[in-house]
């Protein structure tokens, strides 16, 4: 998988931690803490891919969010272990024969264990129980997950945990065991706490390395809420820190990352656009970087997908043009963030600061925090647009300066070209070559943008 966010150093750090900890033959529980969309799942998947090449490792990957339909997380953890053991025992050449025997032995123990759990709660008579158990055993052998309603209400947890721990000890005699726990912060707070508790019951003081992907800020709020500590006067994170120390020994903070390869930074959104007007590809990339500063990569991809979809719908609605400029794409990105991600349906407008200094602003800012922080977005716009411009005015009423109406900006810079999309009435006000042809293209794009906004507002 391509490392778009330059996670190589983090990957090496995790591998070094695991390698050093394995030398001690002791377990460790550590977390990767980062915002939603910062690449935690990519990092875990790439780590698993690289470590799996080494036959000394046995890696169980437990996605807490995908398995939260199990009321009892232990069922999900067992299911994940069985799936993995089913997978590796079918690949004959991976391990030596003694390890293969061990894996099959543990696999059968866990299959019988989960069958016993089902039998315990179904309360069938003896004949029905035997037939039911055979059917469950067959489904598990085929790799099918068990989904039994209210299966965990009468689950004998203590005995189950003991059997699981005993089998982990068996496996650890031959293999280094890693348990990856992903998407924990996407679960409901009550379920996240239950997962942490079960992992502690199973792995505490065991030769297992646990790696948890979390958003500590969100998880802390959920923990404080469950324990009634989210009232005024309490520090959610401080309380949660103390609670999490019971389960996590080390937390590694993951930043939002930086895309280093410029061809990848645009997520392919520039396909079909060109430098038909003033703005060229390097300027588009610079605009994109400034606009998306502080926005995580997953959200950036969502923005690009939305822009691409609405652009295509606008073309199909009867507004197909010969050229689509990079400047138009810049405006589409701005409107998509404003209308869809900030939930603001008002337009942008040009604000005169002083002298020849102008900027882009919004007539209505939604202060309620959405997926993107509105203050961050408008600060990014200030970085792009707030500057001094060569202004062209059109005399509307009298020769007096205050009666002149803004009609455009001299396109001596990227931001000036973009400002012209937001002028109420745009006239030829450039030093471009072939000015009439380019002005025709530009006005067509302004019309296209109007239709783009209409369709965008329908989402």
pLDDT-based confidence at 402, cuts 50/70/90?
very low
Q: Which pLDDT score is estimated for 122?
A: 40
The answer, yes or no, to whether residue 119 has pLDDT greater than 70, is no
Which pLDDT does position 395 carry in this prediction?
40
Residue 448 has what pLDDT?
Answer: 92
Reported as a single tens digit per residue, the pLDDT across 3-61 is 556 677 888 889 889 988 888 888 999 999 988 777 788 888 899 999 988 888 989 99
User: Which pLDDT band holds residue 155 (cuts at 50, 70, 90)?
Assistant: very low
pLDDT at residue 114, as a whole number: 63
Higher pLDDT residue, 185 or 348?
348
- Mean pLDDT over each residue of the chain, to the nearest integer: 76
- Kind and range of the H or E element at 60? strand 57-63
Please report the pLDDT score of residue 361 as a whole number.
84
Which residues in 146-283 belong to E strands, given as ranges? Answer: 176-182, 208-214, 250-253
Lowest mean pLDDT: which of 120-129, 229-238, 311-320, 334-343? Answer: 120-129
The yes-or-no verdict on residue 232 having pLDDT over 70 is no
pLDDT top residue among 344 and 161: 344
Among the ranges given (63-67, 101-105, 143-147), the one the predictor scored with the smallest mean pLDDT: 143-147
The pLDDT-based confidence of 233 (bands split at 50, 70, 90) is low
H-run or E-run covering 358: strand 357-362
Q: What is the pLDDT of residue 36?
A: 77
Predicted confidence at residue 81, as pLDDT, reads: 83
Is 50 exceeded by the pLDDT of residue 435? no
Taking 50 as the threshold, does the pLDDT of residue 396 lie above it?
no
Please tell me the distance from the alpha carbon of residue 344 to that of residue 362, in angstroms, as a whole number.
Answer: 9
> How many Å apart are CA 382 and CA 445, to the nearest integer?
23
Distance, C-alpha 123 to centroid of its chain? 43
Cα dihedral sign, 342-343-348-352: negative
In the prediction, which pLDDT does 299 show? Answer: 86
367 pLDDT band, cuts 50/70/90, is low
Using one digit for the tens of pLDDT, what is the confidence trace for 302-356? 899 999 999 999 998 888 888 888 989 999 999 999 998 888 888 888 888 888 8
Mean of the pLDDT values across residues 230-258? 78
Per-residue model confidence (pLDDT) at position 153 = 39
Residue 209 clears pLDDT 90, i.e. is over it: yes
User: In CATH, what is the architecture of 8-253?
Assistant: 3-Layer(aba) Sandwich (3.40)
Q: Is the pLDDT of residue 433 over 70?
A: no
Report angle CA 182, 184, 190 to the nearest 5 degrees.
Answer: 155
Which residue has better confidence, 97 or 222? 222
Percent of the chain at pLDDT > 90 equals 13
**CA atoms of 279 and 223, how far apart (whole Å):** 49
Using alpha carbons, list the distances in angstroms from residue 398 to 13, 395, 406, 428.
69, 7, 14, 21
Residue 116 has pLDDT above 70, yes or no: no
Task: Name residue 193's beta-bridge partners.
Answer: none
Would you tell me how many other CB atoms lie within 10 Å of the CB of residue 223?
25
The side-by-side arrangement of strands in the sheet containing 28-33 is: 57-63, 176-182, 208-214, 28-33, 250-253
Six token digits for residue 206? 């065991």
pLDDT of residue 408: 65
Q: What is the mean predicted confidence (pLDDT) over 198-217?
A: 89
Classify burial at 355, counting beta carbons within 10 Å of its beta carbon; exposed 0-12, middle 13-18, buried 19 or more: exposed
Q: Where are the domains of the chain?
A: 8-253, 262-456
Selection from 329, 312, 333 nearest residue 276 by Cα: 329
Percent of the chain at pLDDT > 70 equals 71
């Amino acid at each position: 998988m391509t490392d778009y966010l330059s996670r190589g150093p983090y990957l090496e750090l995790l591998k070094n931690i695991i390698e050093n900890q394995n030398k001690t033959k002791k377990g460790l529980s550590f977390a990767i803490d980062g915002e939603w969309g910062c690449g935690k799942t990519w990092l875990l998947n790439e780590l698993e891919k690289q470590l799996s090449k080494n036959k000394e490792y046995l890696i169980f990957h437990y996605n807490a969010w995908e398995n939260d339909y199990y009321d009892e997380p232990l069922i999900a953890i067992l299911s994940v272990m069985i799936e993995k053991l089913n997978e590796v025992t079918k690949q004959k050449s991976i391990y030596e024969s003694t390890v293969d025997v061990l894996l099959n032995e543990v696999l059968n123990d866990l299959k019988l264990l989960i069958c016993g759990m089902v039998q315990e709660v179904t309360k069938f008579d003896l004949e029905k129980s035997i037939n039911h158990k055979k059917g469950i055993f067959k489904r598990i052998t085929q790799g099918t997950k068990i989904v039994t309603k209210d299966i965990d209400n009468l689950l004998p947890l203590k005995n189950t945990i003991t059997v699981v721990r005993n089998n982990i000890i068996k496996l650890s005699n031959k293999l280094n065991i890693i348990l990856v726990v992903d998407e924990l912060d996407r679960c409901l707070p009550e379920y996240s706490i239950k997962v942490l508790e079960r992992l502690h019951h199973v792995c505490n003081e065991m030769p297992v390395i646990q790696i948890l992907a979390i958003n500590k800020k969100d998880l802390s709020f959920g923990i404080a809420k469950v324990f009634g500590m989210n009232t005024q006067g309490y520090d959610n994170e401080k309380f949660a820190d103390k609670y999490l120390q019971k389960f996590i020994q080390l937390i590694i903070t993951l930043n939002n990352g930086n895309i280093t390869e410029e061809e990848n930074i645009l997520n392919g959104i520039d396909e079909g656009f060109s430098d038909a007007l003033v703005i060229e590809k390097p300027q588009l990339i610079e605009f994109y970087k400034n606009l998306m500063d502080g926005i995580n990569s997953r959200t950036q991809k969502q923005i690009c997908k939305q822009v691409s979809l609405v652009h295509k719908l606008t073309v199909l609605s009867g507004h197909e043009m010969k050229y689509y400029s990079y400047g138009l794409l810049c405006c589409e990105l701005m409107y998509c963030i404003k209308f869809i991600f900030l939930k603001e349906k008002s337009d942008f407008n040009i604000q005169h600061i002083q002298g020849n200094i102008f900027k882009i602003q919004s007539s209505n800012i939604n202060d309620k925090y959405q997926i993107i922080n509105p203050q961050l977005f408008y600060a990014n716009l200030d970085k792009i647009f707030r500057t001094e411009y060569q202004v062209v005015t059109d005399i509307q009423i009298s020769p007096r300066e205050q009666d002149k109406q803004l009609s455009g900006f001299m396109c001596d810079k990227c931001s000036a070209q973009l400002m012209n999309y937001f002028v109420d009435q745009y006239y030829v006000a450039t030093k471009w070559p072939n000015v009439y042809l380019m002005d025709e293209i530009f006005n067509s794009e302004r019309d296209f943008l109007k239709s783009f906004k209409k369709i965008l507002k329908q989402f």
